[in-house]
Amino acid sequence: MNTKAIILKCMKGDNSTPLVSILLAVYKPNKKWLVEQLISLNEQSYNNLELLVYDDCPEFSVSEELFNQHITNFEYKLIRGKQNQGSNKAFEELTKVANGDFFAYCDQDDIWEQEKISVMIEGFNKNDTTLVFSDLSIIDGNSMKIANSITDIRKRIEYRSGYMLAERLLMTNFVTGCAMIVKSDIAKKAVPFEANLVHDQWIAIIAALNGRIEFLNKPLVRYRQHGSNQTGILKDVYDKKTYYTKRIADFICRYESLERRLCTYEIEESISNCLKWLNARKNYFSNPNIRDLRIMVKYKDFHKVSIAIECVLPFMPESIFKSIIKMAKKGIL
């Protein structure tokens, strides 16, 4: 640990506010965007922070000088991965070693509002609140704001607060990782992360199964929208074949894994019913029939939009379906 880090740690020895660990995963980052992010972390109004960084690209390692130069208000630790494992594993490794009472997951190309952590920690005003998350504004590659809320471009997002939200989160995630803070014991309970889910959705499910999730209707992160974002609506879906793979086959693998991992929680019946629904969708896709259609309609509340499309999907010309996908990605549908 360098001298600066030791001094900062000693200065914070009597700090009465809980320690928040910022967990940042990086992979060949755009230097300009990373610097903007680091500056926004360093300028947080909250006064008890640590930064843990996992570099997931050993072939093109990120320069530690960037952190020395731009993280001056609290200590940081840089972990070098031995091989590229992907963001889920990177965040899992950070979750294992973090020391904080709360964990704030962080992407390499966003910008945090100065009061982000302070405001979100205030959201843990109920003892059984396990996770707090916020809205996000949208910026472009030049850091110019293009939307005041992520709901302006992803119109089907429905933010929710309260209890018993795990079942809804199983199918549709409304918690964005860079805009959430979670209690450390809940995050560690989620380890190992579910391979068939993005880390934020998996952590949100575990948080919902163990207490209350709180939404703050305020954009506390400037989320950068660019062509290489890892997540997004209908990611990697372009035609009927990729739709089947990403929206049906992959979901079946996910729910079979969830059935094994969440069997001790009171959502086992919901997961079982969802598998019936998914398998009916699989069968109907290749061989349209009344029996499977009835099952699809019976469990339509899992995702009504999917059923509205898939009832006619086997009969729809490929060109029309591709146009629908393009409009959905643009937020028109």
Of 113, 111, 89, 93, the closest CA to residue 103 belongs to: 93
The pTM (predicted TM-score) of the whole model is 0.88
CA 12 – CA 258 distance, rounded (Å): 41
Same domain, 100 and 181: yes
Same domain, 53 and 148: yes
Same domain, 129 and 179: yes
Same domain, 204 and 259: no
- Looking at the chain, list the stretches that DSSP marks H as alpha helix, in order from N- to C-terminal side: 3-11, 31-42, 64-70, 87-97, 116-122, 166-171, 184-189, 199-209, 240-244, 250-261, 268-286, 290-298, 304-310, 318-329
Structural domain boundaries enclosing 68: 3-224
Phi, psi of 214 (to 5 degrees): -120, 125
71 within some domain:
yes
Give the number of domains in the chain: 2
Tell me what pLDDT residue 65 has.
95
Q: Enter the DSSP assignment of 302.
A: G
Please answer whether residues 40 and 137 qualify as being in contact, where contact means their C-beta atoms are separated by less than 8 angstroms: no
CA 149 – CA 135 distance, rounded (Å): 6
Query: Helix, strand, or coil here: 147?
Result: strand
pLDDT tens digits, one per residue of 211-242 = 999 999 999 999 999 765 444 557 789 999 99
Phi, psi of 117 (to 5 degrees): -70, -40
Same domain, 187 and 315: no
pLDDT, average across residues 65-79: 97
Instruction: Give the whole-number percent of the chain exceeding pLDDT 70.
Output: 92
Same domain, 71 and 192: yes
Same domain, 71 and 185: yes
pLDDT tens digits, one per residue of 142-173 = 999 999 999 998 888 899 999 999 999 998 89
Q: Which residues are CB-contacts of 29 (< 8 A; sequence separation ≥ 6)?
A: 62, 108, 109
Same domain, 258 and 292: yes
Tell me what pLDDT residue 220 has.
98
Residue 294 CB neighbour total at 10 angstroms: 11
Tell me what pLDDT residue 214 has.
98
44 within some domain:
yes
Name the residue with tokens 């086992």. Answer: 268
Same domain, 258 and 207: no
244 within some domain:
yes
CA distances from 289 to 38, 294, 311, 314 (A): 55, 9, 10, 11
pLDDT, average across residues 195-223: 97
81 within some domain:
yes
Does 129 have pLDDT greater than 80?
yes
Does 13 have pLDDT greater than 70?
no
Same domain, 23 and 98: yes
